[in-house]
Amino acid sequence: MPEQNHSWFCVCLAALLTVAHLDAQALQTAQGPARQVIDKYCITCHNQRTKAGDLILETADLNAIPAHSEMWEKVVKKLRSGTMPPAGAPRPDAAGYSAAAAWIEARLDSAPPYAGRPVLHRLNRAEYANAIRDLLHLEVDIDTLLPPDDSAFGFDNVAEALGVSPALQERYLAAAAKIAALAVGDPAQAPITHTWRIPQDLSQDQHVEGLPLGTVGGTSVRHNFPLDGEYRIQAKLYRTNLNIMRGLESVHQVEFSVDGKRVYLAKIGGPEDLASLFKAPTDTGDAVDARLQAIVPISAGPHSVSVAFLQDSQFAEPGRLQAFLRSSVDNFDWAGHPHLQVLMVAGPFHASGVSQTPSRKNIFVCQPVNAAQEPACAQTIINTLMLRAYRQPPSSADVHRVMEFYASGRGSSSDHPSFDRGIQAALERILASPKFLFRAEADPAGVKPGSIYPVSDLELASRLSFFLWSSIPDDALLHLAIQGKLHDEATLEREVRRMLADPRSDALVENFAGQWLQLRNLRNFQPNTDLFPDFDDNLRQSFRRETELFFESILREDRSVLDLMTADYTFVNERLARHYGIPDIYGSWFRRVPVHDEARKGLLGQGSILALTSHAERTSPVLRGKWILQNLMGLDVPPPPPNVPPLPEEKDGDKPRTMREQMTEHRANPVCAACHRTLDPIGFALENFDAVGAWRSEDAGAPVDASGELADGTKVNGVTELRQALLRRPENFVTTVVEKLMIYGLGRGLDARDMPQVRAIVRNAARDNYRLSSLIQGVALSMPFRMSTAVSQTEVARR
Amino acid sequence: MFVSRKSLPRRAVLRGLGAAASLPLLDAMFPALTPLAKAAAAPSLRFGAVYFPNGAIMPQFTPKTFGSGFEFTPILQPFEPYRDNLVVVTNLTRSHPGSQVGDHAVSAAGFLTGIWPKRTEAEDVFANTTIDQIVAQQIGQQSPLPSLELATEDFSGYVGGCSPGFSCAYMNTISWSSPKTPLPMETNPRAVFERLFGEPGTAGEQRSRLVKRRSILDSLADDAKDLERELGPRDRARLGDYLDNVREIERRIQQSEARSVTEVATPEAPLGTPDTFDEHVALMFDLAAAAFQADVTRVFTFMMSRELSQRTYPQIGVTEQHHSVSHHQNNPQKIAQMVKINTYYAELYARFLAKLHATPDGDGSLLDHSLLVYGAGMADSNGHASDPLPVVMIGGGAGKGARHVEVPARTPIGNLWRNVAERFGANVEQFGDSTGKTNVLA
């Protein structure tokens, strides 16, 4: 065959040019299966003349693979995923693919070990909030205190993206002052109003999880009350855009409760309100809102406040006939329920002191009974706080600096000396410190630039706690580190197990899974209300909750990550069960259910993923394909080239084209085809799920065609076959999970030098059926996690 | 945080609660708000840059004729009342070196920088000091806040939703204080309010808070020095930024302390982020106007929404996502939707112009004493076109109004920024990829 002659010629040429002392035969043997596959299948395009994708394999030196690891890692990805050679071109068989990839990987893995080094790491918003929770036993509403953080490589805990600016620094100072006042209970805290807005598309004609049974709609919030005193709880009801309050046709009772106990009951609606509404809508709305407030004495500390409507049998059922039609979708629907729009808590007024709160209990580890005991007790309190906040024993200079603030906060005898104010000032100073806000790691003295060394036990403790808990280490972890025991492998393993079992590891669900699977983005998903009138915020929240609970079950039950794709169970409430067509599920709480429908098994059958990869009006096979390639298969999807030619316009009288037909035209353009041929068939296989993840067998009047040919030549039809194809080599999926865990755990992007470590973790976890815990253990025990590369002078140039 | 104000009696706080539901929240307080720098003889020129995402339908944006007699296009229609204060500039381009693929990241990051940002996802982000920051360097030190950066979209819901290969930083802000330093933009009105007018408390409480904060800042430098001793050069450089920031905040506090002899009645704090885009944008504009009026800052930037935004606008009949409409594929229906969105943004902006126009400032209005840029870093959105960019200069600072100026084809936008810098007394030889200086601000 001419093609083979050509490649043979090239090999000879390459051999003559690069390794002239070997003859071609010897070269073939020495370079094993990789050379054979490359010569036979790759260099038709990747030669010096064609240079497809700027890649020349023809002359590539297979004896110097580690020196060109970046290029070879890409080659391995293409081989492992079967995406090259492209469809239509001759390809090796499975064994050929595997042998070539394995041979190259073995060379890549022989590279000298690499640890890397994250840059100075600022706590991100979630880490800051968790640190405050663990340091002070105080849950703060972090979104009001700090701005969101930039992200890179898909995660917002990547050190390189966490910059500082004067505006941010000001927010840190203000946050430190507010938190210290709240935690200690500063009597001078001015009355302030906190507001919670209820999304307009939240249906409120059914029971809301977390609210008292026998109520519908409303909301419940957990709030920290700064002092003992009076607080005003106030609610406002939803009005249409013509300022007409909804739901006044008949009487409704609005219940306010604190910690589940009713504190106020208001009556709204009925003939009088309705008559008045017709005459003066704005005044009537204002008058009704004015009834919805109560002044309530509340003690300092966290309490839950809720406002909801008492369920009235007269109104219990209208929604059931047309299940889950959004109850607030139509501005002119006068048959609707009233809707809570805003809940406000203002205060404190007539503050009378500060009770024992969880945070005061946690801060005041001692209580001086007279002035003489104060300095020693202050020292104890401050030392304890600093050890935890700075994640290391504070130096005497550190303590001295903070004690100065204690002294000036406490005041002298001439005014009103206050021990509490002293502690508050000290706490404010601690929270403002860069030693709290930054995770600094220092090279040990005398270490050679570029060399690899184990990080200190204290640094390791912080790495662990921020990885597994998105928070500061607890005392047990700190003490192991202080005793110098943490670096011991068995101890480290035990600690990882202990920390994973701790509820604080929920942070992995919220922050790792929330970003890896992009669940956080669901918040921005707003499907077209005309096309999807049933979609409401209840469903949006349920989508996210399902996948979070699902991921959590894999973590807590120590399951294989492959179960993420294949598990025969999931979590639903009534709202979601109806959406999926699962019968006999009632109530707003989530519960575990078996999944019998093959199509719904695993992540690919979950509404969250299917919705966040859709447009407002339709599904997007491209977005779905891209999401799967990037997040499950670990393949890069390049951006579309500029100035993509438009699809040919539809002329009058033309038959409307289906999405698939339009996409086919798109792929006829060779510029587009290169990527879309890989992306689209994956998305097509999911076409039985509409833009909100509901099952459909028809689209626009035609039966759904969910068939296609994947880039590796596998023909699939529908989600089940797609899932099987994606898992044919489970290592591909597992490798992706490990890469994401590494980025998240190390707080830095990965490059080719990290891949040998990733493969080692995958190999080790294979023996354990790829349990999520063993992947996490693998990351925590890996060299990059426990070691650091000493900073060399050349790194200065990067700034 | 730094402007002292009269103590608010409990009654006022309670009254404020009742008023809080009627939006825009800040309207009520405007008559009461008096400029801090009452004594200033001549009002100073302010600068603002307002950005809209995902490009524009240029034939419906650009007036058909040049010179003074042009007719307003559908998208620019909302600006017609300010005709005499307005200059439309046509033919500017963002930087587009060689065959580089342009997209949303380089649009946001290329607008006020006049440069092609470095393609990277790592810490080595590199763009250019933006024109607002050049102006802030020039006039910012005269007010407590050198500049104010505002936005509406909380981007933490867009993880993985940035341009491939480009750090999210390029899309999360349009303002850079140095080529390496993106300035985060604030989306929470309450936080903006507290930066401008202080946290709740009496004048005495606010003053003692300032004193305490200054002493904390002094003391933080010692902590930073400890860290500096231990860290490598790369980390030290990062900490250097931190110390610069600490010094900048100290300066602001000093300024505020010096000013706090003037007690000024300030507005009630807004209660949080409104749930509609309309209200949110209005509130951010109100805060910018209040900041100008009280002379808390003289420079602001506002990204009305973010590039790649998935927002839908059912209130104007656009139920498809902004970004997906913007790739209109020359489909007339989608183009019409895109024009609707572009016009809607102009309407929201025109409300701000009305406010500035109605606010007296020295011998004229705030609008008379402002130079405002309104535009985008993307022209036609279908193919991410880099020119001709939609740009309108508004306010007394733009010079003679009622003009539609045609600059030579593909004039780098840096040429305009050189012109702006000059207007504020800064001599910039080279702005990004500038090839000269426009004379638009005649």
What's the pTM value of the predicted model, to 2 decimals? 0.86
Cβ within 8 Å, pair A521-B160: yes
Cβ within 8 Å, pair A796-B14: no
For position B251, what pLDDT does the model report? 78
* Digit-coded pLDDT (tens) for A493-504: 999 999 999 999
Provide, as residue numbers in chain A, all residues whose Cβ is less than 8 Å from the Cβ of B162: 151
Burial zone of A320 (CB within 10 Å; 0-12 exposed, 13-18 middle, 19+ buried): exposed
The arithmetic mean of pLDDT across residues A526-544, rounded, is: 88
The DSSP symbol for A648 reads P
Q: Which two tokens stand for residue A627?
A: 């999401």
Q: Which residue of B has its CA nearest to A425?
A: B212
Q: Which residue of A has its CA nearest to B14?
A: A346
In angstroms, the separation between the Cα of residue B147 and the nearest Cα of chain A is 10
Q: What are phi and psi of A220, to 5 degrees?
A: -130, 135
For residue A422, which of A191, A180, A190 has the smallest C-alpha distance?
A: A180
Cβ within 8 Å, pair B149-A167: yes
Please report which helix (H) or strand (E) contains residue B360, including its range.
strand B360-361
For position A646, what pLDDT does the model report? 56
Q: Which residue of B has its CA nearest to A616?
A: B320
Measured between CB atoms, which of A167, A440, A646 is closest to B231? A440
Instruction: Identify the residue with better confidence: A665 or B357.
Output: B357
In angstroms, the separation between the Cα of residue B152 and the nearest Cα of chain A is 12
Model confidence at A249, pLDDT cuts 50, 70, 90, reads: confident
Instruction: Identify the residue with better confidence: A642 or A533.
Output: A533
pLDDT tops 70 at residue B266: no
- What are A365-368's contacts with CB under 8 Å, separation 24+? A368/A419
Q: Which residue of B has its CA nearest to A643?
A: B383
For position B150, what pLDDT does the model report? 96
Cβ within 8 Å, pair B121-A163: no
Cβ within 8 Å, pair B220-A404: no
Model confidence at A23, pLDDT cuts 50, 70, 90, reads: very low
Count of alpha carbons within 13 angstroms of residue A113, beta-carbon side: 14
Provide, as residue numbers in chain A, all residues whose Cβ is less than 8 Å from the Cβ of B274: 197
The arithmetic mean of pLDDT across residues B287-309, rounded, is: 92
pLDDT tops 90 at residue A358: yes
Measured between CB atoms, which of A397, A617, A796 is closest to B319? A617
- The whole-angstrom separation of Cα A524 and Cα A538 is 14
Burial zone of B233 (CB within 10 Å; 0-12 exposed, 13-18 middle, 19+ buried): middle
For position B200, what pLDDT does the model report? 72
- The whole-angstrom separation of Cα B183 and Cα A766 is 45
Q: What are phi and psi of A425, to 5 degrees?
A: -65, -40
pLDDT tops 50 at residue B230: yes
Provide, as residue numbers in chain B, all residues whose Cβ is less than 8 Å from the Cβ of A221: none
* Digit-coded pLDDT (tens) for A558-584: 999 999 999 999 999 999 999 999 999
For position A426, what pLDDT does the model report? 97
Mean pLDDT of chain A: 86
In angstroms, the separation between the Cα of residue B408 and the nearest Cα of chain A is 23
In angstroms, the separation between the Cα of residue A45 and the nearest Cα of chain B is 23
- The whole-angstrom separation of Cα A653 and Cα B47 is 53
Instruction: Identify the residue with better confidence: A13 or A392.
Output: A392
pLDDT tops 80 at residue B293: yes
- Of all residues in chain B, what percent are helix, strand and coil, respectively (each to 5)? 40, 15, 45
On whether the CB atoms of residues A507 and A133 are closer than 8 A, the answer is no
Please report which helix (H) or strand (E) contains residue A308, including its range.
strand A301-310
For position B74, what pLDDT does the model report? 96
- The whole-angstrom separation of Cα A735 and Cα A105 is 13
From the candidates B195, B216, B378, which should be mutated to test the interface with A, based on the most A CB atoms within 10 A?
A: B216
Instruction: Identify the residue with better confidence: A61 or B350.
Output: B350
From the candidates A169, A441, A516, which should be mutated to test the interface with B, based on the most B CB atoms within 10 A?
A: A169
The DSSP symbol for B304 reads S
For position B139, what pLDDT does the model report? 92
The arithmetic mean of pLDDT across residues B269-273, rounded, is: 69
For position B159, what pLDDT does the model report? 66
Q: Which two tokens stand for residue B385?
A: 């076109």
**Count of CB pairs separated by less than 8 Å, A with B:** 267
For position A19, what pLDDT does the model report? 38
Cβ within 8 Å, pair B227-A425: no
* Digit-coded pLDDT (tens) for A647-693: 555 555 566 666 777 777 777 777 777 778 888 899 999 999 999 99
The arithmetic mean of pLDDT across residues B96-107, rounded, is: 76
In angstroms, the separation between the Cα of residue A195 and the nearest Cα of chain B is 6
Cβ within 8 Å, pair B167-A152: yes
In this structure, which amino acid lies at residue A577?
A: A
What count of other Cβ atoms lies within 10 Å of the Cβ of residue A715? 11
* Digit-coded pLDDT (tens) for A169-178: 889 999 999 9
For residue A142, which of A133, A134, A150 has the smallest C-alpha distance?
A: A133
